[in-house]
């Protein structure tokens, strides 16, 4: 069973746009490649045909997966969220207590994750460890190489 994921209106629109592009642009392109390769003769030894069929299979898998994500997506009204605790779409400033380094992350749904731009999945070990924490609290988070401790410096939207 799929689980519900929460998105901003912008994030959900981005997903729907990607799905539309895959269905309306990529699917016809791949179908045309298959037709062109089929017209070249013997299919048993036609590498172009087999490559196009494999691409079609991967594309259909991606479309089905994205349709599932969109079907289980919900738009979250950020104005109704409690800003005293870390929740999805919170912007969090953290301080690593071991080395004093500070980081700022926005907690987002899995498909919006982009570490380079400070977007951290709520389902990542650090994301899960931060959920529900309050300002000034120390979050002890189990990561693959041990336990990390982060002080919550700031919470905003």
Query: Across-strand partners of 120?
Result: 107
Q: How far apart are CA 49 and CA 33, in angstroms?
A: 8
pLDDT at residue 1 tops 50: no
Q: Is 54 helix (H, G, I), strand (E, B) or coil?
A: helix
pLDDT digits (tens, 9 = 90+) for 102-137: 989 988 888 788 889 889 988 888 888 888 888 888
The span from the CA of 2 to the CA of 17, in Å, is: 21
C-alpha closest to that of 16 among 78, 71, 88, 60? 71
């Amino acid at each position: 069973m799929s689980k519900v994921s929460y998105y901003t209106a912008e994030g959900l629109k981005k997903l729907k746009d990607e799905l539309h592009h895959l269905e309306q642009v990529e699917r016809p392109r791949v179908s045309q490649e298959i037709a062109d390769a089929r017209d070249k003769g013997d299919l048993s030894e036609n590498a172009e045909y087999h490559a196009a069929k494999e691409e079609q299979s991967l594309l259909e898998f991606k479309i089905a997966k994205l349709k599932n994500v969109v079907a289980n997506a919900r738009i979250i009204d950020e104005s109704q969220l409690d800003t005293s605790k870390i929740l999805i779409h919170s912007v969090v400033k953290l301080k690593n207590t071991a080395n004093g380094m500070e980081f700022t992350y926005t907690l987002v749904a899995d498909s919006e994750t982009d570490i380079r731009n400070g977007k951290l999945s709520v389902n990542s070990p650090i994301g899960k460890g931060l959920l529900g924490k309050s300002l000034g609290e120390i979050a002890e988070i189990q990561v693959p190489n041990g336990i990390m401790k982060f002080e919550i410096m700031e919470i905003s939207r």
